[in-house]
Structure 1
Amino acid sequence: MTRLPLSRRRFMATSAGAALIAGASGLASPLRAAEPIKTAGIYTVPVEQQWVSRIHKAALTAQERGDVEYVYSENVSNTDYARVMREYAEQGYKLIIGEVFAVEQEAREVAADYPDIAFLMGSSFKQDEALANFAVFDNYIQDASYLSGIIAGAMTKSANIGMVGGFPIPEVNRLMHAFMAGAREMNPEIKFQVSFIGSWFDPPKAKETAFAMIEGGADMLYAERFGVSDAAKEKGVLAIGNVIDTQADYPETVVASAIWHFEPTLDAAIAAVNAGTFTAADYGVYSFMKEGGSSLAPLGTFEGKVPEAAMALVAEREAAIKAGTFSVEINDEEPKSS
């Protein structure tokens, strides 16, 4: 178990936080926090992994503000997940965050035993109103993925894009479909090679899968997993990043990235806990671009190298997404090669 040093400061509610909880109803005083909220993160992978790193970053930011006292456990196996949840609950943590995609039932059973603790968990399922202290979230960054797809569609010369994912769960599927839709905006004839490696963190396997796609004609890769951009760099093809910005690490390889910002999600939960209104809810909405939960990373070294027509379309669509006049389709079905 890895833990960070704790710091204590008085919580200062912001107008943004107040707006997030305005009109909310839910649990009463047991979930109200008078001091920085004792918060624990439980992760099945290293905190360096893309998805978890964004949760970890947001929690560290909240700790620096004095909103929470944050500790975490990483590399927790699925068989140990419920046990670790109970340990933190017994230690008096009031907000527990993590990802329960593989342990949904066990996690909800633990939450039911600790009704005075707020659980905010990444999940492929929705909230259960009967379990008032268990809220769910997911990274609905399809808006940014769609925009990155437009860029990919404009940059591929072979009209063949390789896509390497972890598991075909809704959270991954919707991002891939959005990316594919964006690419087809530039070239409806683009072909996609789609493969899942059956792991959230296996860079060597992701890299080998990407090599096979390059051999199959792909000159652009969608790097949903670590290892894919390494393959692209070695073979001299391009890549599109996901969740985090790796352009600085691959300046000649990663053209663009769809970024997830977990801060709006966590800030909403913090505000609700402090107000005593935390309840079963779907926090996925806070990942939408119009909520500040996702963005297209700066192009860095590729600034000025993407065709003007593509960048014009990106600007047009981004403005429309933020204005609420354009919606990117959310398709959670498993994507297939075409």
Structure 2
Amino acid sequence: MNSRKTVVTTLGGMIAASVLAAAPAAPTQVGFVYVSPVGDAGWTYQHDIGRKEMEKAMGGQVTTKFVENVPEGADAERVVRGLVTGGAKIVFTTSFGYMNPTEKVARAFPDRFFFHATGYKTGPNMGIYNARFYEGRFLNGVIAGKMTKSNIAGYVAAFPIPEVMQGINAFTQGMRSVNPKAEVRVIWVNSWFDPGKEREAALTLISQGADMITHHTDSTAIVQAAEEKHKENKNVYAFSYHSDMSKYGPTAQLTGTTHHWGAFYTRTVKEVLAGTWKGTNVWGGFKEGMIQLAPLNKAIPADVKALVQKEEKAMAAGKFHPFAGPVVAQDGKIKVPKGKTMTDAELGAMDYYVQGVASTLPKK
């Protein structure tokens, strides 16, 4: 009788062990922190598309969770910490102002992994990533320079950080590469997402003579404002940012600089799960597929389209750089001499306007 119990017990244990061994591992939780609502266009929308692409590519290996409309600062730290204590092994924080809160939480949880977009601080378990938005901005500027009638472009900007300065200056460089008379006027709204302020700024720039407008903010307000004015026979055109916003400006949007994060998110999560991640400092452009131009409006002349396509291919091949010298600051100082190209370190420290920007930079 005892021997039978032993056999039964042993067999039961073997079956249980077999079941446990066959049971799939629980999916890894991946968290995302967004600075604005997801919506259907814009910076956060593009990151959310990337999240979904990564989740699909990973099959059942991961589950994802996001928190949207999170203010930069102390509240961001609370949200990041909450994702980790709620089970997230990997967290992506997607706005510049999340950098210090992300770093603080990363130090507190050394067994978790954190990735911050657009910042510069890293750690043993914290990587950074960004896209070379300025490449697309230069090409947008080329189109603006060729098509403007007033020689004035308007730029609605969020905060005067290097990433935004790169975009303003690249757009200006592109515009003046084909039209030395062109100038760019900038209005700062001090917010990543405030459709009301963005719209007001766009209309102000248009009233000042801008017939080409663009933005480094998150909403569709600028493209919508341009569409409204275009319909009033003012021939105002716009360049979207983050997403293709042509459904909000089917006539006015000429193209835009769009961002693509899915491949990066998928690759990074795979590396973490495989135990092969050794640090991330990614800055990708046309070559890496992290930025693309939105479809070109049929209003763009054929020769301009050909020029833009030629310069895009040259950028992707590393044969052309938007900040190849000479690069001259607004005050006349030479930042990059002829024959040289601006380094990534110099790009990351950009805190000035180039010649061609007609506005005054806010004081720190």
For the criterion TM > 0.5, the same-fold answer is yes
CA separation in 2, counterparts of 1:165 and 1:219? Answer: 17
**Counterpart mapping for 1:202-213 below 5 A:** 202-213=194-205
Alpha-carbon deviation of 1:35? 6.1
Alpha-carbon deviation of 1:218? 0.6
> Are the aligned partners of 1:148 and 1:240 in contact in 2 as well (CA < 8 Å)?
yes
Per the alignment, residue 292 of structure 1 pairs with 289
Q: CA RMSD in A?
A: 2.0
> Are the aligned partners of 1:118 and 1:278 in contact in 2 as well (CA < 8 Å)?
no
Alpha-carbon deviation of 1:134? 0.5
Listed as ranges, the gaps of 5+ residues in structure 1 are: 1-33
Structure 1 residues 153 and 204, CA, compared in 2 at 3 Å: closer, same or farther? same
Alpha-carbon deviation of 1:326? 1.5
**Which structure would you say has the larger Rg?**
2
Q: Deviations over 1:190-240 (max 9, x none)?
A: 011112100011111111111111111111101333221222122221111
Q: Which amino acid aligns with 1:335?
A: Y
CA separation in 2, counterparts of 1:213 and 1:238? Answer: 12
Is 1:179–2:171 an aligned residue pair?
yes
TM-score between the two structures when normalised by the length of structure 2: 0.77
CA separation in 1, counterparts of 2:205 and 2:213? Answer: 8
CA separation in 2, counterparts of 1:230 and 1:126? Answer: 36
CA separation in 2, counterparts of 1:183 and 1:36? Answer: 49
Per the alignment, residue 308 of structure 2 pairs with 314
Is 1:79–2:74 an aligned residue pair?
yes
Alpha-carbon deviation of 1:265? 2.2
Higher relative contact order (CA 8 A, sep 6+): 1
Per the alignment, residue 263 of structure 1 pairs with 262
Alpha-carbon deviation of 1:334? 4.2
Structure 1 residues 98 and 164, CA, compared in 2 at 3 Å: closer, same or farther? same
Give SS of 1:292's match.
coil
Q: Which amino acid aligns with 1:107?
A: T
Structure 1 residues 42 and 306, CA, compared in 2 at 3 Å: closer, same or farther? same
Per the alignment, residue 47 of structure 1 pairs with 38
Structure 1 residues 268 and 173, CA, compared in 2 at 3 Å: closer, same or farther? farther
Alpha-carbon deviation of 1:186? 1.8
Per the alignment, residue 160 of structure 1 pairs with 152
Q: Deviations over 1:168-201 (max 9, x none)?
A: 1122221222222111122011011112100011
Per the alignment, residue 112 of structure 1 pairs with 107
**Counterpart mapping for 1:53-92 below 5 A:** 53-65=45-57, 66=59, 68-77=62-71, 78-92=73-87
Structure 1 residues 289 and 140, CA, compared in 2 at 3 Å: closer, same or farther? same
Alpha-carbon deviation of 1:100? 5.0
Give SS of 2:351's match.
coil
Per the alignment, residue 197 of structure 1 pairs with 189
CA separation in 2, counterparts of 1:245 and 1:100? Answer: 20
> Are the aligned partners of 2:199 and 2:225 in contact in 1 as well (CA < 8 Å)?
yes
> Are the aligned partners of 1:100 and 1:107 in contact in 2 as well (CA < 8 Å)?
no
Is 1:219–2:218 an aligned residue pair?
no
Structure 1 residues 86 and 279, CA, compared in 2 at 3 Å: closer, same or farther? farther
> Are the aligned partners of 2:32 and 2:94 in contact in 1 as well (CA < 8 Å)?
no
Give SS of 1:188's match.
coil
Give SS of 1:112's match.
helix
Q: Percent identity?
A: 31
Q: Which amino acid aligns with 2:67?
A: S
Per the alignment, residue 250 of structure 2 pairs with 251
Give SS of 1:327's match.
coil
**Counterpart mapping for 1:223-242 below 5 A:** 223-225=215-217, 226=219, 227-236=221-230, 237-242=236-241
Deviating 4+ runs (over 4 angstroms):
none
Q: Deviations over 1:248-306 (max 9, x none)?
A: 221111111111111232123112212212243312x2x3110111111112xx22x21
Listed as ranges, the gaps of 5+ residues in structure 2 are: 1-24, 231-235, 324-341, 359-364
CA separation in 1, counterparts of 2:132 and 2:317? Answer: 17
Q: Deviations over 1:101-144 (max 9, x none)?
A: 224333211101111111011143242xxx21111122322222
Is 1:37–2:31 an aligned residue pair?
no
Alpha-carbon deviation of 1:309? 2.8
CA separation in 1, counterparts of 2:83 and 2:204? Answer: 43
> Are the aligned partners of 2:103 and 2:121 in contact in 1 as well (CA < 8 Å)?
no
Give SS of 1:178's match.
helix
Structure 1 residues 290 and 105, CA, compared in 2 at 3 Å: closer, same or farther? same
Alpha-carbon deviation of 1:74? 1.0
| Number of residue pairs the alignment of both structures matches | 298
Alpha-carbon deviation of 1:70? 0.8
> Are the aligned partners of 1:150 and 1:182 in contact in 2 as well (CA < 8 Å)?
yes
**Counterpart mapping for 1:129-148 below 5 A:** 131-148=123-140
> Are the aligned partners of 1:220 and 1:239 in contact in 2 as well (CA < 8 Å)?
yes
Q: Which amino acid aligns with 2:272?
A: V
Alpha-carbon deviation of 1:319? 1.4
CA separation in 2, counterparts of 1:217 and 1:100? Answer: 32
Q: Which amino acid aligns with 2:142?
A: I
Structure 1 residues 47 and 279, CA, compared in 2 at 3 Å: closer, same or farther? farther
